[in-house]
Structure 1
């Protein structure tokens, strides 16, 4: 569409180390690998330390983040890919994984949601490509912005 623009915020700067857990569902391994590559590059650019864990599918990503919250991480990057199939399972996986991540966020977890929900494999490949739409990098940036916001308001309360 003509006139359409997208604005990307600069990455936040941190004066104390940032630890981020990337939780990825590698069901579509090549898509997941691209998402992780993009996320890692963004985290590296911000000087954040990253750890990666894998879970079986998109529905397990929020549960893993919930479990890992006690692990001393400042933020989390949720990555995976759900491609529409012939049944309503797609709707369940998309809605429930997203809802669970949102609920964790409302409880104070700093989460960037990079679980792709697409109609086709080709759509996923374009979105995951670190040199393209780089949705993994975008999810990592979102997590970093929430970490920065959390730290800002923690200082204000102190």
Structure 2
């Protein structure tokens, strides 16, 4: 059983300025989602961060909501939460694979995302993984997002107010040499 295994956990990420984290949750299994959220909030607050929560219809919509928030808001990082339980059809594989792929692609674009979308065989597995006093996968997803935010801040430049963006010299206008922008 996975709960008897021990794993190394990184020390909690530390910040000079608070991190602003968006928790995007698909509450299809509401009690599981509530436990995941509780774990995520506790981890964010323990690191001195702030959070907002938005709900989406299902796990497939989580990456889209994160992509919209990244384009239209100023969050430092994101926590993706939800639960997909295997059923009798291949829908399970589609939802698991595509939600994970969407989050991975966003991460490869530089977004700081902790993936806490549970993919399990049955409700009991979900319950055990979601419990904030147990395996606390919501807290683990928040910790992952916070560690990525810390890396982004280490390698990026400061933003106005709360949050950070990549250093300005990373952007290049087509046809212009790096560091020079044509009007």
- Distance in 2 (CA, whole Å) between partners of 1:58 and 1:51 is 18
Kindly indicate whether structure 1 or structure 2 has the higher relative contact order, using CA contacts under 8 Å at least 6 residues apart: 1
Q: Which residue of 1 aligns with 2:13?
A: 12
Report the Cα offset of residue 5 of structure 1. Answer: 3.2
Paired position in structure 1 for 2:61 = 60
1:123 to 122, 125, 138: 125
Secondary structure of 1:76's match? strand
The alignment's C-alpha RMSD in Å is 1.7
TM-score normalized by structure 2? 0.83
Match of 2:40 in 1: 39
- Name the structure 2 match of 1:95: 97
SS at match of 1:122: helix
Corresponding residue number in structure 2 for 1:149: 151
Please report the TM-score for the alignment, with normalisation by the length of structure 1.
0.95
How far apart are the structure 1 equivalents of 2:137 and 2:78?
Answer: 14
Distance 1:157 1:66, change over 3 A: closer
Query: Corresponding residue for 2:83?
Result: 81
Aligned partners of 1:24 and 1:4: how far apart in 2?
Answer: 27
Q: 1:107 to 1:120 in 2, by over 3 A?
A: same
Q: Which runs of 5+ in 2 are unaligned?
A: 158-165, 169-183
Query: Quick one: which of 105, 109, 112 aligns to 2:114?
Result: 112
Q: CA deviation at 1:62?
A: 0.2
Q: CA deviation at 1:157?
A: 5.9
Mapping of residues 13-28 of structure 1, within 5 Å:
13-28=14-29
Task: Determine helix, strand or coil for the equivalent of 1:79.
Answer: strand
Partner of 2:49: 48
Aligned positions, number: 157
Q: Any idea what the Cα deviations from partners look like across 1:35-71, whole Å, max 9, x if unmatched?
A: 0000000001000000000000000000000000031
Runs of 4+ in 1 over 4 A off after TM superposition: 155-158
Shift of 1:16: 1.2
Please list every run of 5 or more consecutive structure 1 residues that lacks an aligned counterpart in the other structure: none
